[in-house]
Amino acid sequence: MSQVVLKSITETVVRFSEVDSMAVVWHGNYIKFLEDGREDFGKKFGIGYLDVYHNELMTPIVKISMEYKKPLFYGDTALIETTYIDTDSAKIQFEYKIFRKSDNELIATGESTQVFLNLNRELELTTPPFMEEWKRKMGLLKD
């Protein structure tokens, strides 16, 4: 595996619909923040959901975890740091850190794992060619 680090930072403002009656972000919405990070990462690095789908594959989440450290409140700006974790396996893994922008306080950490399914929803056991090509383009694989 390579020493190349692929990371994106996504900024989002906490909306009223994302908080509970105490103006604290409801715990389930942090999973949506991870989705925002993945989607932004995909756009920045050319490996978005439509890129995968155009290769006749899907990448469902099979594992996700969150560790909550501090709360976010209505109106806070969150910075979602999404880091691609390179692996030889036929999967996509990310690690996340969520910070409050105003004081750079670490709010939460997380991880996610996605696998490749073909359009018949069958598990792909080897890394798809387009993913290997993307890894080469990003400097993660050498010829």
Active-site positions read: 20
Distance (Å, whole) CA 55 – CA 129: 9
The token duo for 126 is: 């080897």
**Strands 61-68 and 57-58: what pairing?**
unpaired
Distance (Å, whole) CA 40 – CA 97: 14
Distance (Å, whole) CA 24 – CA 36: 19
128 contacts 116 by C-beta, under 8 angstroms: yes
25 contacts 14 by C-beta, under 8 angstroms: yes
Which residue reads 């383009």 in tokens?
A: 137
